[in-house]
A and B are shown apart, each in its own frame.
Chain A
Amino acid sequence: MSERIAVFGDRESIYGFAALGLDTYFYELGADNTAVFKKLCQSRNYSIIYITEAAAAELDKEIEKYRSEPSPAIILIPGVSGNTGEGMSAVRKSVEKAVGSDIFNE
């Protein structure tokens, strides 16, 4: 079965991905973003979901749920407003979980 790749985030940051053939879903202020994101995760059509760090901040709980699931892979990417370091801290979280402390801390 072939799946697709979704990108979720504010329009400014991700509209370019549409040209590459990825499905873009826009994060909108005031809209029910959690519902949209939930639907994306549960649809099973997407094996990879890229999400901007800014949008991810609000959907922390949902993302956490899928950390130990084999699919989909939810990957944080920096948005147009700059890098918040949230993506790297997700990697750090994995290390902390496995090793017990963050051994790559510099």
Chain B
Amino acid sequence: MAVKQVNPTRMELTRLKKKMNTATRGHKLLKDKRDELMRRFLEMVRENRSLRMKVEEQIRQANANFVLAKASMSDETLKAALLAPKQEIYVTTSYRNVMSVDIPVFDTDTRTPDPNDIYSYGFAFTSSDLDGAVKSLSDILPDLIRLAEIEKSCQLMADEIEKTRRRVNALEHVMIPETQEQIRYITRKLDENERSTQTRLMKVKDMMLAQAHGY
């Protein structure tokens, strides 16, 4: 591997060793984070799948009901019936922190507490099929909101997992080996310097002895 040029000094060595320590600790932590995120994600995505299947089936049925309702009344009456809805839904979003991912939690609130306010029309001119259709849709709503919550969470977590995985890989395959290589290089260089000083000293000692005593 191509080693980045480093100064073979003791100071640099200490710095690199510190860096290495941090990198290893960070790598371990991030790896743990990734594993835990993955576990939670898989749990959630399983629920997401089954909930989606259920909701899609329910919507299909509700849609069928609406088609039936539409068939038995005129378009104008239908439009007029649903023109001015009585009920309103408000959502309060709070966030729950799961492994540093803020996942949304939706709390819904209706304008009026009366569950019958979903029928925004008098019953005189509309067919009873419409009542059934609206009711079937209203029954799905809690599931639909839960689906929104969980699907958004899955998307956000998937994003975070991808990021964390990249970080783990960058540390594991680039940062840590590179630092190791640099540390090894400096150690070798320093050792080599020490050996060369040693031999030089020995040589000088020999020369001085020869001069003084004529060995």
Binding site for B on A (CB under 8 A): 1-5, 13, 15-22, 47-48, 50, 67-68, 70-71, 73, 75, 77-80, 82-83, 87-88, 90-91, 94-95, 97-99, 104
Contact = CB atoms under 8 A, between A and B. Distances in A.
25 contacts: A1-B92, A2-B109, A3-B93, A5-B91, A16-B133, A19-B119, A47-B91, A47-B93, A47-B104, A68-B159, A70-B102, A73-B151, A77-B56, A78-B59, A80-B63, A80-B66, A83-B56, A90-B151, A94-B45, A94-B151, A94-B155, A97-B158, A98-B158, A98-B161, A99-B38
Given A3-B91, A47-B106, A99-B38, A87 B45 contact: no
Contacts of A15: 66, 78, 82
B57 to A, nearest CB: 9
Main secondary structure on B side of the interface with A? helix
A77 B133 CA distance: 17
Main secondary structure on A side of the interface with B? mixed
Interface residues of B, number: 57
A16 B93 CA distance: 24
Given A2-B92, A47-B104, A90-B151, A16 B62 contact: yes
Contact of A68 (B82, B110, B155): B155
Given A73-B149, A98-B41, A48 B118 contact: no
B23 interface: no
B152 interface: yes
A96 to B, nearest CB: 8
Contacts of A18: 82, 85, 120
B168 interface: no
A94 B154 contact: yes
Given A97-B158, A98-B38, A2 B87 contact: no
B156 A70 contact: yes
Contacts of B144: 50, 75, 77
Contacts of A19: 82, 85, 87, 118-120, 134, 137-138
Contacts of B104: 47, 70-71, 73
Contacts of A21: 85-89, 110-111, 118
A13 B133 CA distance: 12
Contacts of A3: 90-93
A4 B148 contact: no
Contacts of B156: 68, 70
Contacts of A50: 144, 148
Nearest to B110: A21
